[in-house]
């Protein structure tokens, strides 16, 4: 069985040897061959999204469709249409009939992430599908059938939601046929440093920087920290250090500023406020833009420096002027002179001037625009690249009036 678990970890990029983690993988593998509904629980950032993929990949449905839906990112007014489809004219803007995810994924697996955020009316529809496989499109009275394996996940305490009347108890028991709990990172301390090493190596390859390493004291500090944001937070911290620190050997003193509670590691976990969470998201986007600008500036400098190495006959074949509006990606850095180039022309870093608004808001907007452009307007893929939720991306698009 251990060899099977190791194979799964390699396939899905799961790092760690803690027994609680391997138990969760083992349960996912065993339940995969059935059609039972599965509820995956665990704190935000622990990697719950890997487990529905494991279940689908090792199930008889593996050749069929797998769809992952972030229920918390879809506005309440359109969630029923997204899940169950709608008929033409069912509501303003419904210019044609549309299949929902339950219809698209029929025969396969549907992963409902943040399922606790579903509105009560949608929960009633979901319960009916789970019990009978029946549903109706929005605006239709025709009963349709679907054959979908449902895997759900949540990072909240559903028992509390039930007490507050925000989640149906019968739906909870229907979803929770087989529970899988993914352990928090602080519960598997021996996996923390290996994860750091993997992330550090990945970012070294991605940004073409030397790999960072930790001193022995820094390793202890890393392992004793509570990691309220779990694996996601560890990955973000590793990326920040990889980009910012010039000295590639990180001691405990250099590591402390990157941790919210590096000293009182045994104190109760600090809960981030909404503003702190947003600030972390802002920093993530800014770090990505900084890294891209660094690479692009270096590429431009390398290209211009080649001019001075050309032979005379090669040089004469070049254009006689350099356009003054040489752009570095989407930023507004420019080369400020347009004079004729001569063989003795040299490139000076001082010729690069900042003509851009590098406020947090503008940096965020540019990062979002570029991610959306790279993925041709696909908001889900853009959100994944930016490492923010689809809900946050929707809000930012509206806030910055972004049109793609």
- Taking residues 150-168, report their average pLDDT: 96
Residue-wise pLDDT for 4-23, tens only, equals 899 999 999 999 999 999 99
**Would you say residue 387 has pLDDT above 80?**
no
Structure tokens at 73: 């990112």
> What's the predicted TM-score (pTM) here?
0.65
Pairing mode, if any, of strands 134-135 and 144-145? antiparallel
What is residue 198's predicted lDDT score, i.e. its pLDDT? 95
Question: Under CATH, which number does the domain 186-258 receive?
Answer: 1.10.8.60
What is residue 69's predicted lDDT score, i.e. its pLDDT? 96
What is residue 279's predicted lDDT score, i.e. its pLDDT? 52
Percent of the chain with pLDDT over 70: 75
What is residue 362's predicted lDDT score, i.e. its pLDDT? 75
How many CA atoms lie less than 13 Å away from 267 in the CB half-sphere? 8
User: CA–CA separation, 157 vs 42, rounded Å?
Assistant: 9
SS3 track for 6-45: HHHHHHHCCCCCCHHHHHHHHHHHHHCCCCCCEEEECCCC
296: nearest Cα among 338, 324, 331, 345? 331
What is residue 396's predicted lDDT score, i.e. its pLDDT? 83
What is residue 101's predicted lDDT score, i.e. its pLDDT? 97
What is residue 352's predicted lDDT score, i.e. its pLDDT? 45
Percent of the chain with pLDDT over 90: 60
The larger pLDDT score, comparing residue 388 to residue 322, is at 388
- Taking residues 231-239, report their average pLDDT: 96
Q: In which band, very low, low, confident or very high, does the pLDDT at 357 lie, cut at 50, 70 and 90?
A: low
Q: Tell me which architecture the domain covering 297-399 has in CATH.
A: Orthogonal Bundle (1.10)
User: CA–CA separation, 261 vs 273, rounded Å?
Assistant: 15
How many CA atoms lie less than 13 Å away from 32 in the CB half-sphere? 20
Residue-wise pLDDT for 281-299, tens only, equals 555 556 556 666 666 666 6
What is residue 92's predicted lDDT score, i.e. its pLDDT? 83
Q: In which band, very low, low, confident or very high, does the pLDDT at 351 lie, cut at 50, 70 and 90?
A: very low
- Taking residues 360-387, report their average pLDDT: 81
Q: What is the CATH T-level fold of the domain 2-183, as seen in this structure? A: Rossmann fold (3.40.50)
How buried is 187 (Cβ within 10 angstroms: 0-12 exposed, 13-18 middle, 19+ buried)?
middle
Looking at the chain, the domain(s) classified CATH 3.40.50.300 span 2-183
367: nearest Cα among 387, 350, 346, 349? 387
* DSSP per-residue string spanning 69-129: EEGGGS-TTTHHHHHH-B-TTSSTT--S-B--HHHHTTTSEEEEETGGGS-HHHHHHHHHH
Residue-wise pLDDT for 23-71, tens only, equals 999 999 999 999 999 999 999 999 999 999 999 999 999 999 999 999 9
**Would you say residue 96 has pLDDT above 60?**
yes
Looking at the chain, the domain(s) classified CATH 1.10.8.60 span 186-258
What is residue 94's predicted lDDT score, i.e. its pLDDT? 84
User: CA–CA separation, 186 vs 226, rounded Å?
Assistant: 5
Residue-wise pLDDT for 303-337, tens only, equals 666 655 555 555 455 444 344 334 444 444 433 33
**Would you say residue 353 has pLDDT above 50?**
no
Looking at the chain, the domain(s) classified CATH 1.10.10.60 span 297-399
- φ, ψ dihedrals at 227, nearest 5°: 50, 65
Instruction: Report the range of poorest mean pLDDT among 46-55, 142-151, 370-379.
Output: 370-379
What is residue 276's predicted lDDT score, i.e. its pLDDT? 47
User: CA–CA separation, 383 vs 391, rounded Å?
Assistant: 9
């Amino acid at each position: 069985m251990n060899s099977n678990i190791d194979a799964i970890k390699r396939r899905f990029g799961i790092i760690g040897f803690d027994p609680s983690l391997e138990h969760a993988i083992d349960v996912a593998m065993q339940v995969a061959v059935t059609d039972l509904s599965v509820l995956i629980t665990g704190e935000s950032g622990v990697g719950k999204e890997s487990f529905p993929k494991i279940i689908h990949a090792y199930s008889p449905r593996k050749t069929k469709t797998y769809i992952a839906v972030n229920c918390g990112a879809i506005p309440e007014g359109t969630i029923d249409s997204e899940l169950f489809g709608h008929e033409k004219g069912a509501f303003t803007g419904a210019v044609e009939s549309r299949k929902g995810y339950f219809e698209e994924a029929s025969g396969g697996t549907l992963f409902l992430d943040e399922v606790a955020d579903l509105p009560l009316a949608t929960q009633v529809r979901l319960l009916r599908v789970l019990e009978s496989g029946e549903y109706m499109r929005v605006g239709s009275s025709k009963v349709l059938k679907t054959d979908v394996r449902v895997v759900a996940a949540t990072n909240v305490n559903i028992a509390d939601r039930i007490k507050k009347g925000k989640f149906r108890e019968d739906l909870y028991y229907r979803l929770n046929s087989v529970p899988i709990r993914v352990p928090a990172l602080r519960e598997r301390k021996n996996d923390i440093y290996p994860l750091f090493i993997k992330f550090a190596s990945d970012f070294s390859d991605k940004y073409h920087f030397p790999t960072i390493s930790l001193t022995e004291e820094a390793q202890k500090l890393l392992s004793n920290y509570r990691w309220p944001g779990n694996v996601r937070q560890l990955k973000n911290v590793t990326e920040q250090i990889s980009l910012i620190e010039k000295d590639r050997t990180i001691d405990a003193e250099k590591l402390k500023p990157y941790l919210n509670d590096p000293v009182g590691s045994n104190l109760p976990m600090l809960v981030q406020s909404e503003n702190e969470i947003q600030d972390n998201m802002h920093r993530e986007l800014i770090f990505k833009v900084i890294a891209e600008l660094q690479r692009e500036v270096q590429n431009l400098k390398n290209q211009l420096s080649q001019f001075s190495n050309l032979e005379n006959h090669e040089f004469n074949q070049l254009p006689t002027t350099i356009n003054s509006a040489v752009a570095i990606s989407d930023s507004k850095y420019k080369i400020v002179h347009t004079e004729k180039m001569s063989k003795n022309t040299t490139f000076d870093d001082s010729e690069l001037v900042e003509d851009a608004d590098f406020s947090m808001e503008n940096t965020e907007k540019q990062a979002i625009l570029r991610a959306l452009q790279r993925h041709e307007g696909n908001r889900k893929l853009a959100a994944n690249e930016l490492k923010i939720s689809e809900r946050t991306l929707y809000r930012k698009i509206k806030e910055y009036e972004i049109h793609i």
